[in-house]
Chain A
Amino acid sequence: KAGVTQTPRYLIKTRGQQVTLSCSPISGHRSVSWYQQTPGQGLQFLFEYFSETQRNKGNFPGRFSGRQFSNSRSEMNVSTLELGDSALYLCASTDLGAEQYFGPGTRLTVT
């Protein structure tokens, strides 16, 4: 099976702009989770979607949002970008098991 794919891999945006990141899970996986990785805060959970519904949400401001489509693909959106949003954004998918499989990530740089 193909792994989790994320697009784009790299992105440079300016403060105040918005950005949309995309994630395609492993075929058959219905749950998609998003994580933010920064040097200062480490790996932090953003949200999880299952069957197009947000099931869990981490402690991030409302500028961070996401959605999931009927084919399980997911997008996350960050509006009004701030310098502190510069990070590696990781997507993970899972089936009924507890383990999550990660994509390569999208490196977002906000200038």
Chain B
Amino acid sequence: AQSVTQLGSHVSVSEGALVLLRCNYSSSVPPYLFWYVQYPNQGLQLLLKYTSAATLVKGINGFEAEFKKSETSFHLTKPSAHMSDAAEYFCAYNAGNMLTFGGGTRLMVKP
């Protein structure tokens, strides 16, 4: 069965610092992978998706993620954190229209 693991349930960075949120997946077939962001009391907003067209995927709000098959990873990065990036981030794997989510990483941004 496919699974998604997010390393670090909480990540804290200073404003302007690099953001790195880690995601590893396990799958025997090429995956569709996604990053979603959730702000308090809201639903999930799609940040970016990997569908095998390119290994480096650019998303909204300056985020990007790199698919590395050899490492089974799909880490999310942003060069410079902004206070408005504080939220919970979820990595997800799509298998047959069913999303399997990682446990989530809460990003805190310090001024």
Contacts and interface: CB of A to CB of B under 8 A. Distances in A.
A binds B: yes
Interface of A: 4, 6, 31, 33, 35, 42-45, 48, 50, 55-56, 58, 90, 92, 94, 98-105, 107
**Chain B interface main SS type:** strand
Nearest to B90: A43
A45 B100 contact: yes
Contacts, number: 57
B29 to A, nearest CB: 13
Interface in B53-111: 90, 92, 94, 96-101, 103-104
A89 to B, nearest CB: 10
A6 B41 CA distance: 13
Contacts of B97: 31, 33, 48, 50, 55-56, 94, 98, 100
Given A48-B98, A107-B41, 8 more contacts: A31-B97, A50-B97, A55-B97, A56-B97, A58-B98, A99-B49, A102-B46, A105-B43
Contact of A42 (B36, B42, B43, B103): B103
Q: For the side of the interface on B, what is the size category?
A: 20 to 34
Given A90-B43, A105-B43, A35 B99 contact: yes
B98 A98 contact: no
Contacts of B103: 42
B49 A98 contact: yes
Nearest to A57: B98
